[in-house]
Amino acid sequence: MTVVLGFCLFLCVGSFSANQAIAKTIKIKAISAWPTNDGSVKEDYLGFIENANKAFKEKYPGQLEINYIGGPETIPTRDQPEGLRVGTVDLYFGTPAYYVGIAPAANTSKMTQLTPWEERESGAHALFDEIHRKKLNSVYLGRLGNQIPFQLWLNVKVKTPDDLKGLRIRVSPMYIDFVKALGAIPIETKPGDIYQGLERGVFDGTFWPFTKYIDWGFQEVTKYAVGPGIYNVCHPVLMNLDKWNSIPADQQNFLMEVMKQEERAVVSRDYAKIESETKKLKKAGLEFIEFSPEDTKRYLDLSQSSGWEGLIKRSPDDGPKLRKMLSK
C-alpha cells in the first residue's frame, strides 16, 4: 500500500514539475512588416529566429521560444509599430520609416556609414535603444539588412539628376526629403501598390532596396536603374519592453549575443547579394544609367544634406548626436 501511495505521489509531483516547466516557457510572438516570401524576411529575420530558437534549445531548453506569426496579412504594416508598443506582438522586424511619426530620430539609421558592430562601439546602438524604449516601449536588439543601398528605378530615361525634376517618384518617409530636393514629385503608397503603379504609369519610378527588387517582381515593369544607390537599408529588430523585462537577465544577454552574430552574417550576405542581383537585373533587361563623376558627387551630396536636414529638423535633440555617432 505504501509503495502504491509513494508511486502515485511521484506521478503527481512529476506531473506538476512538467506543467511548471511548460508554464515557465516564455513565448515570443514575432511579426514582420513584409510578407514571408520577402528576401530579408525569409533569409535575415526567419534565419535569426531559427538560430535563436536553436541556440536557446541547447543553452536554455524549454525556457524561451520565438514563434513567427506572419507579416502584413496578420497585422497591417502601418499598424504593427503600435501593436508592438502595446504588446499585441512581442518582436517586430521592419523599418523606422514605418514609425517615423512616433520616433523620428530612429530614422537616422538610414544615414549610417558604420556596420552594426561599429554602431555599438560609437554609442549609436545605445542611443537607438534609449529612443525606442521611450517612444515605442521597445528594446532595440539590433538591425538586420544593412549594407544595401536604396536604388532609383525609372521607366523614363534620364541623363543627369536635373532630368528628374517634375518626375513622379513613389516614396516612403525614408527618402522623401531627397526626392523633394531633386525637384521630383513624391507619391506615397504602400509597398503592395508599387507593381501596379509602375505598370500603369501612376508614377514614373520608385526608390527601393537594390537587392529586394526582384523579390517583389518589380523588374517586370521597370526599364532603368538610375545613378548610385543612396543611404542604407536598416531593418531593426525590436522587442516589446514588457516582454523583454519578463526574460531573465542571463537570457537577455544570450539573445543579444545571437543578434550580434546574426548581424555579421547578414552583412556578409549583403555584399554577395549586390553582385549577384546586378547580374540578374541586367539579364532581365534593365539598363543601368550612370551619371558623370561630377553629377554623381552632386547627387550623393544632395542625398546627404537633404536627408540630415530633414532628420535634424524633426529631431533637433538626438539628430545632431546621431549624425556624429553614425559618421566615419
What's the CA gap between 318 and 169, in Å, rounded? 29
Q: Look up the CATH superfamily of 21-146+234-272.
A: Bacterial extracellular solute-binding protein, family 7 (3.40.190.170)
Where do the structural domains in the chain lie, given as residue ranges?
21-146+234-272, 150-232+277-325
Contact 141, 125 (CB under 8 A): no
Q: Coil, helix or strand for 288?
A: strand
Widest distance between CA atoms in the chain: 95
What is the reported pLDDT for 146?
A: 67
Do the domains at 21-146+234-272 and 150-232+277-325 have one common CATH topology? yes
- Full-model pTM: 0.82
What is the number of other CB atoms lying within 10 angstroms of the CB of residue 215? 20
**d(C-alpha 303, C-alpha 296), whole Å:** 11
Say if domain 150-232+277-325 classifies as CATH 3.50.50.60: no
pLDDT at site 10: 41
Please report, in tens digits, the pLDDT of each residue of the chain (328 residues total): 444 444 444 444 444 444 444 448 999 999 999 999 888 899 999 999 999 999 999 999 999 999 999 999 999 999 999 999 999 999 999 999 899 999 999 999 999 999 999 999 999 999 999 999 999 999 999 999 767 899 999 999 999 999 999 999 999 888 899 999 999 999 999 888 999 999 999 999 999 989 889 989 999 999 999 999 999 888 999 999 999 999 999 999 999 999 999 999 998 888 888 889 999 999 999 999 999 999 999 999 999 999 999 999 999 999 999 999 999 8
Q: Parallel, antiparallel, or unpaired for β 150-154 and 205-209?
A: antiparallel
**Cα–Cα–Cα angle for 265, 325, 93, rounded to 5 degrees:** 45
CB 226 within 8 A of CB 154: yes
Name the helix (H) or strand (E) containing 308: helix 293-314
Query: Is 42 buried (19+), middle (13-18) or exposed (0-12) by CB count in 10 A?
Result: middle
Q: Looking at residue 268, what is its pLDDT?
A: 86
pLDDT at residue number 14: 46
Which is nearest to 291 in space by CA: 246, 224, 233, 237? 224
Report helix, strand or coil for 194: helix
The three cell numbers of residue 226 are 538610375
Residue 190: what pLDDT?
86
Structure confidence at residue 274 (pLDDT): 87
